């Protein structure tokens, strides 16, 4: 019986560890040939000497399971490296069908203490890295669609974060980058839909090297103990924050079954998938004159916000802000 991704080629960036590794293994399990990209720096802040080991280890895992994979060791935030990554997929397997943008780093700091380099480096890897690979994959699919005179199978799965949705006090660079990725996703979805290409973003919750501080102390099971990345927790069973909970959604979005899913943002973790709506108007006020005055806005907006119940998500984020301060 044919696998859902049989005959398709996927790129997964940042696939040497954590989420990217789980996603690459899942796509391979579903039948895709996988280009495993990872720059291989040991520090989650992007520090340390680059290494081929993480990417090559995942390639070895895929091949040992009977799949097809090749490693790419470039930096996706480098325009030329991103071009070479797409070219490697096409030259090795004849085509590119799936792009999973996952690579990222963290350089956390409160906004009043953050350096220019801490801001620039995170925006570069996350947001520019997503753009670079998308730009060359999109050009490939546009050319293919023109050559065949119709739509082709193209899938982009981007990685955003709930830090964009609810705020993250000590991560202004990361939250901004993840918000920008959602904007890139919706723009790309509109631009490429006519070629048969869908573009979606996920907000995953997973216990990885990147999030070891965020989820420190979170139980692996309700009422249970903490577990390591991708391992079974106390009491048996998979850690609710294991990256393996996220990978199946990526496999689905990469498949022909998800042809009607485009421009969407999905939150995923621990056996749960939630579809996020685009922002909706909560209230609307019109001036009784030609132009709002300060007094009129005060009369309309101040009582409105005074009567609104507190936003529980934002309140929780404020508590975290106090811990960072």
Catalytic choice (174, 252, 289, 305): 174
Q: Is 293 a catalytic residue?
A: no
Distances from the Cα of 1 to the Cα of 31, 40, 146, 247, 313, angstroms: 11, 36, 31, 21, 45
What's 232's DSSP letter?
A: B
How would DSSP label each residue in 236-303? SSB-TT-GGGTHHHHHHHTSGGGTT--S-EEEEETTEEEEEPPP--------SSSS--HHHHHHHHHH
Q: Is 168 a catalytic residue?
A: no
Catalytic choice (178, 195, 252, 305): 178
Is 209 in a helix, a strand, or coil?
helix
Q: Is 178 a catalytic residue?
A: yes
Catalytic choice (33, 161, 168, 255): 161
Reported as type and span, the H/E element at residue 145 is: helix 129-148
Alpha-carbon distance 18 to 104, whole Å?
Answer: 11
* Active site positions, annotated: 161, 174, 178
């Amino acid at each position: 019986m044919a696998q859902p991704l049989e005959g398709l080629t996927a790129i997964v960036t940042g696939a040497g560890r954590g989420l990217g590794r789980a996603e690459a293994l899942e796509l391979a399990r579903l039948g895709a040939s996988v280009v495993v990209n990872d720059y291989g720096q040991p520090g989650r802040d992007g520090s340390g000497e680059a290494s081929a080991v993480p990417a090559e280890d995942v390639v070895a895992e895929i091949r040992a399971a009977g799949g097809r994979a090749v490693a790419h060791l470039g930096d996706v935030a480098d325009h030329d490296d991103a071009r070479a990554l797409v070219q490697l997929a096409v030259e090795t397997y004849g085509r590119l069908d799936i792009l999973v943008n996952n690579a990222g780093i963290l350089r956390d700091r409160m906004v009043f203490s953050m350096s220019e380099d801490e801001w620039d480096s995170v925006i570069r890897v996350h947001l520019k890295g997503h753009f670079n690979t998308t730009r060359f994959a999109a050009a490939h699919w546009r050319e293919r669609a023109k050559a065949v005179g119709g739509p082709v199978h193209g899938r982009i799965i981007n990685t955003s974060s709930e830090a964009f949705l609810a705020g993250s006090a000590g991560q202004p660079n990361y939250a901004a980058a993840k918000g920008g990725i959602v904007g890139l996703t919706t723009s790309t979805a509109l631009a490429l839909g006519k070629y048969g290409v869908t573009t979606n973003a996920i907000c995953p919750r997973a216990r990885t090297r990147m999030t070891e501080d965020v989820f420190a102390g979170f139980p692996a099971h309700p009422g249970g103990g903490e577990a390591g990345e991708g391992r079974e927790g106390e009491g048996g069973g998979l850690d609710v924050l294991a990256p393996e909970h996220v990978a199946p959604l990526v496999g689905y979005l990469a498949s022909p079954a998800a042809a009607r899913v485009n421009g969407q943002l999905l939150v995923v973790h621990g056996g749960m998938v939630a579809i996020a709506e685009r922002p909706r108007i909560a209230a609307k006020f019109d001036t009784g004159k030609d132009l709002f005055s300060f007094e009129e806005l005060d009369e309309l907006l101040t009582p409105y916000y005074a009567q609104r119940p507190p936003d529980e998500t934002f309140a929780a984020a404020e508590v975290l802000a106090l811990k960072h301060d």
